[in-house]
Structure 1
């Protein structure tokens, strides 16, 4: 079976006129039906520098997951519309209106990287 996820990308933040490096260097993109469906279900954990960008995405679930994650909801211009930290397994989350993608990160990474509402994410 063909690998469902695209190559790694790095993540930076744009806040005003400043660009802030997050230290997250392993962001995979789930942009097919299968890769979005599977998401992180086959993982035992996420490393601190990893994440999964689910595109398109209007809601997520953590059913059958084995670890807690942080969520970042972004619009079509990569503007942060919302964050949800420390989401445990077996939960549902509906994205804020206008969300086009959800970035799933290791628990604590939203705080650690300083991601805030209205930041613009830069995937390199």
Structure 2
């Protein structure tokens, strides 16, 4: 399992990060899902922009360059919208709305994905409630 941390502050951003790296996984993203739990994130790669079509809730979006540096942020991107197109981005992290503010992530912060062996209640990899 992956977690996401801010390397500059040490803050845990997401305790569980799901990956979307195939065409269909990137296309689907969090469409048609219930609102994600506060500690969840979706890492979409490769990706320079997102949409929130067929979503019922807003999300925060972090645009990362190849080194994991935040090069763009969309906060509380509402349903049925297009996010920013960030040419420097190589991947995107979708988070529950408000998480950027809670964790004080800012453009220029360096993020790091870390493997963790922790498995807790609700960490079933087949869990559709992301």
In structure 2, the partner of 1:20 is 10
Shift, 1:82, TM fit: 1.0
Cα root mean square deviation, aligned:
1.1
Distance 1:59 1:13 in 2: 21
Moved runs in structure 1, 4+ residues, more than 2 A? none
Describe the SS at the equivalent of 2:83: strand
TM-score of the two chains, using structure 2 as the length reference:
0.83
Describe the SS at the equivalent of 1:35: helix
2:65 equivalent to 1:72: no
| Gapped regions of structure 2 (runs ≥ 5) | 115-130
2:110 equivalent to 1:114: no
2:2 equivalent to 1:9: yes
Describe the SS at the equivalent of 2:5: strand
Candidates 55, 76, 83, aligned match of 2:73 = 83
Q: Which has the higher strand share?
A: 1
Residues 11 and 122 in structure 1, CA contact (< 8 A), matched pair in contact too:
yes
In structure 1, the partner of 2:128 is none
Q: How many residues align?
A: 114
In structure 1, the partner of 2:33 is 43
Describe the SS at the equivalent of 2:108: coil
Describe the SS at the equivalent of 2:18: strand
TM-score of the two chains, using structure 1 as the length reference:
0.87
Shift, 1:23, TM fit: 4.9
Shift, 1:94, TM fit: 3.0
